[in-house]
Structure 1
Amino acid sequence: IKLERLDDAFHLRATNEQGNSVETDASPAIGGGGRGMRPMEMLLSSLGACSSIDVIDILRKMRQPLQDIKVTLNGEREKDKTPSLFTDIHIVFDLYGDLDVDKAKRAVDMSMEKYCSVAKIVEKTAKITREANVVAGKCNIASWFDFCNFAP
C-alpha cells in the first residue's frame, strides 16, 4: 500500500499494487476537509468487508441462494483518551434471498469466530456483537434506495 498526500492538510490517497485506491481525510474538527473516510471509519469498513466476503463465500459453499447482503456497523470509542480505541462494535448483517435461516446465521458466526482476520485483530480491544437478519424474496440489487421493497 502506498499513500500520497493530495492537499496541504490531511487528504490522502492509498493505492494498492493493483492500482485500486481509496481516499482518506481527517475530521473537520482538526482541519480535515471531509474528502475521504477517516481512518477509524476505514477500520469499521474493513471489518464489514472482511466478514461480508466470508459470509458470501460460506453461503455459496452451502449452496444457499444469497441475492444480496447489506452490512451496517456501529462502533463506540473510548472517551477523552488518545489514542481512542474502539471498545464496542455492533454489526448487523441483512441477508437477502430464499436462505435457510440457520445456515445464514451459521455463516455469520463462522466468519466472525473463525475466518475474518480483521475481526480477530479488532476483538483484542473491542467487544464485537452481531445479528443476522434474513429477508426472503427476490431483490433488485441495482436499486439501493428501494432495497428489495422490504423494510428490514
Structure 2
Amino acid sequence: MIKIELERVDGDYGFEAKDANGHTVRLDTSLEGGGTNFGVRPMQMLLMGLGGCSGIDIVSILKKQRQTIEGFSMKIEGEREAGKEPSIWKNVTIVFELTGNIDPDKAKRACELSMDKYCSVAETLRRAGGELKWEVRVNQEIGK
C-alpha cells in the first residue's frame, strides 16, 4: 500500500505532499482561486505524472534494446472539459523528443508500448474518458 502525507504549509491552499521515502512536492491553487503560486496545481501534477511514467517506460525499453539516449524531453499539453465540475482532462498531447544513437522505429515502438500497454497514468486518463495523442521526434525526425 502506498502512503502519502499532505500538510498545509503556506497560506490557505499551499500544501506539501510527502511520500514514504521523504520526497516532497508543493501544491497550490491558482492565484485567481486564492492561491499564492506556492506550488504546482494538482491537475498539472497529473500530467507531470504521465510524463514521468511514460518516460521511465521508454528509457527502460530503449536501454534493453541497447539504444544510446543522449537527451530525452517531452512537451505535454492538455485541455480540460469546459464548464464542468469536476473538470477532467479531455485531450492530452505529448511530443517525445529523443536524441542520440536511436533507431526511430524502436523509439516509436517504445513510446507505443508505454502509452498503450505499460503506463498506468495513461490508462487512468483513458479510463476517465481522456483522449491521448502523441508523436515521437528522434534527432528532430517526426514519427507517429
Question: Same fold by TM-score, threshold 0.5 exceeded?
Answer: yes
Which residue in the other structure is 2:135 paired with?
131
Partners of 1:33 and 1:86 lie apart in 2 by 24
Q: Deviations over 1:106-132 (max 9, x none)?
A: 000000011001111011220000000
Report what 2:33 is aligned to. 30
Q: CA RMSD in A?
A: 0.9
**Alignment deviations for residues 57-98 of structure 1 (CA, whole Å, 9 cap, x no partner):** 000011101112101100001111110111100000001101
Match of 2:71 in 1: 68
Q: Show the counterpart of 1:5.
A: 8
Q: Does 1:47 align with 2:50?
A: yes
Higher strand share: 2
Matched residue, 1:90: 93
The amino acid of 2:106's aligned partner reads K
SS at match of 1:68: strand
Q: CA deviation at 1:7?
A: 2.5
| Partner Cα separation in structure 2 for residue 7 and residue 45 of structure 1 | 22
Partner of 1:141: none
Matched-pair identity in %: 43
The aligned counterpart of 2:119 is 116
Correspondence for 1:77 among 77, 80, 98: 80
- Counterpart secondary structure, 1:107: helix
Residue 19 of structure 1 aligns with an amino acid whose one-letter code is G
User: Distance in 2 between the 1:78 and 1:117 partners?
Assistant: 21
Rounded to whole Å, the distance in 1 between the matches of 2:38 and 2:10 is 10
Note the C-alpha offset of 1:8.
Answer: 3.3
TM-score of the aligned structures, taking structure 2 as reference length: 0.92
**With structure 1 as the length reference, what TM-score do the two structures score?**
0.87
